[in-house]
A and B are shown apart, each in its own frame.
Chain A
Amino acid sequence: MSSPNQLVLRNLRFSYESAAWELRIPALALGTEPLCGIVGPNGSGKSTLLKLAAGLLAPGEGAVELDGRAVARMRRADLARRLGFLPQECPALFDYAVEQVVALGRHAHGGTLDLPTAADRDAVARALGDVGLEALRHRPLSHLSGGERRRAWLASALAQEPEILLLDEPTQALDLHQAAAVMEILARRAANGLRVVAVMHDLNLAGLFCDRLVLVQAGKIAADGPPAEILTENRLVAAYGDKIEVLRRPEAQNPIVLARK
């Protein structure tokens, strides 16, 4: 049984022809806490797991369910009003203005003609405000820095106002302060009821902001729990290899993960 607003992955199996592993997930419930991070080494299946959860990939076996309904059988627009997905990259075909990108997030809420309603305008304004891009709302994407562009995409996903938002490495290629700013935006929305599930590569950032971490290793879930339980040297060495060190300082809330020579 699943409680409301739960995204449940059940008996899931998926494999790529080229991959050495098969993704196998007996049972995983997402969207159960404000901020959940999916961590694990490169190529372990984190992004695949997220795409399966979003219904973008069809599993070989098993099912993904939102409140007990199979995601694969839902209309994409109906699904998008409840479940959002932000990919790692959004390669723009044309040079959209920031506001246009954010307004595209309202696609699933629009009617035939797609004329913006008051709710659409509010959601766009709120999302622009949350990511701090109000002043740049008319600026074309080509005139933005990498960090600003990523915030514009994030605002588009926020404007969608789903119940659960899945994000694939939202802090990828960002400086530390910008990555932290993105996580703060997500944490604020999560405090207001949004359920966030993000694939993360920065373990320290994940430990600092997430309420729960799911550690994926070679297509399997190696560990699942609060950050303090997941970010242990034993677990991380098993997943990432022995070039990793976990420090625990009494004054810091979270363990600190470092690379070792």
Chain B
Amino acid sequence: MIFFQIRLPRVLLGLLAGGALAMAGAALQVIFRNPLAEPWTLGIAGGASLGAFLARVCPFLWLAWGPLNTSQALALLGAAGALGLVLALARRSGGAGGQTLLLAGVTLGVVCGGAIMVISGFISPWKLAEFHRWLLGGLDAADWASVGALAALAVPGVALLLAQARNLNPLGLGEDMAAGQGVDVARVRRWTAIGAGLASAGVAAVAGPIGFVGLLAPHAVRKIVGPDARLVLPCSFLFGGALLAACDALGRWAAAPLEVAVGALTAVLGGPLFLALLARRRGPA
């Protein structure tokens, strides 16, 4: 009973959320031509979390219909807003692939996190306790309804990304080369951004901000299978899903009977990798 009602949905939630984030990261790294891009570092996860949080804490914004509710709609809006803003900022300072993109993304993520904290100040403590785990990025609210809620956005997102996998490969040699080889670059970018936005918003609405899975998984996978996106995307999904489910299990067992939020664990594991990659990128070419 406990297995079917609590354990299984939680594992499934971890697999799907981790997989969606990892695949989104793998695809975003190609379209932005930046190996450090992923939903968290681009601010998409932050924007989506702020949207989802607003839907949860503002009674007049909360509407639910089966597994779907306004937190997903506002998470999507937040993801789209964040992506649009980061892209506009990066474009203004020349080029969408540079460090400005990351700087803008990480900053936006921090601003969204700050906004969530400010809003939290106006909420009664007992209500806030409900959101505490979600705020840190947690899977412990897992039940079948939350699996359904995640799947409603993440599955179409993942499907869109998989459909673009073949077109992502030529982009690895630059936009002009890809266009010359027959890729409609603007179209691939648009659908990939929509797919990644859907996947990230789905995860943020259910599990809050979970960072670095989208960085860790694709990098590990490329070391094993090489850079072919047709392999990297599905393998990242599997690896990211397994990684998040494993981190969640670790967070549950390591400090039992207390729990460490999985988002906190992925940040502790993934943050150093991000810094290491950043240091390597900034070093002499």
- Interface positions of A (Cβ within 8 A of B): 51, 54-56, 75-81, 84-87, 89-97, 100-101, 104-105, 107-108, 110, 112-114, 153, 156-157, 160, 166
Contacts and interface: CB of A to CB of B under 8 A. Distances in A.
A157 B227 contact: no
B177 A153 contact: yes
Nearest to B33: A93
Given A114-B166, A114-B230, A94 B172 contact: yes
Nearest to B172: A93
Q: For the complex of A and B, list the 8 residue pairs with the smallest distance between their C-beta atoms, beginning with the closest.
A: A80-B182, A108-B182, A85-B180, A94-B227, A87-B176, A77-B182, A90-B173, A93-B172
B227 A90 contact: no
Interface of B: 29-30, 33, 35, 166, 169-174, 176-177, 179-184, 222, 226-228, 230
Given A107-B183, A114-B166, A87 B177 contact: yes
B174 A90 contact: yes
Contacts of A104: 169-170, 172-173, 181
A107 B182 contact: yes
Contacts of B179: 54-56, 76, 85
A221 B226 CA distance: 46
A92 B173 contact: yes
Best-surrounded residue of A81, A92, A166 (most CB of chain B within 10 A): A92
Contacts of B30: 93
Contact of A89 (B33, B166, B174, B182): B174
Nearest to B34: A93
Best-surrounded residue of B171, B181, B228 (most CB of chain A within 10 A): B181
Contacts of A113: 166, 230
A96 B180 CA distance: 18
A112 B180 contact: no
Nearest to B184: A76
A139 to B, nearest CB: 14
B215 to A, nearest CB: 15
Nearest to B188: A76
B166 A80 contact: no
Contacts of B33: 91, 93
Given A77-B184, A156-B177, 8 more contacts: A77-B183, A93-B227, A104-B173, A107-B169, A107-B170, A107-B181, A108-B181, A153-B177
Given A112-B166, A160-B181, A85 B176 contact: yes
Contacts of B171: 93
18 contacts: A51-B176, A56-B176, A76-B179, A77-B182, A77-B183, A79-B182, A80-B180, A86-B177, A86-B180, A91-B174, A92-B172, A92-B173, A93-B171, A94-B227, A96-B172, A104-B181, A113-B166, A113-B230
A89 B29 CA distance: 20
Nearest to B229: A94
Contact of A84 (B166, B180, B222): B180
Contacts of B182: 76-81, 107-108
Contacts of B184: 75-77
Contacts of B35: 93
Nearest to A55: B179
Nearest to A103: B169
A96 B227 contact: yes
A95 B227 CA distance: 8
Contacts of B177: 85-87, 90, 153, 156
A112 B230 CA distance: 11
A14 B277 CA distance: 41
A88 to B, nearest CB: 8
Best-surrounded residue of A76, A91, A96 (most CB of chain B within 10 A): A76
A56 B180 contact: yes
Contact of A101 (B173, B222, B230): B173
A11 B30 CA distance: 37
Contacts of A105: 181
Contacts of B226: 94, 97, 100
Contacts of B222: 94
A153 B180 CA distance: 12
Best-surrounded residue of B171, B172, B174, B177 (most CB of chain A within 10 A): B177
A79 B184 CA distance: 11
Contacts of B176: 51, 56, 85, 87, 90
B172 A110 contact: no
Nearest to A89: B174
Contact of B180 (A54, A89, A91, A94): A54
Nearest to A80: B182
B189 to A, nearest CB: 13
Contacts of B166: 107, 110, 112-114
A90 B174 CA distance: 6
B161 to A, nearest CB: 15
Contacts of A114: 166, 230
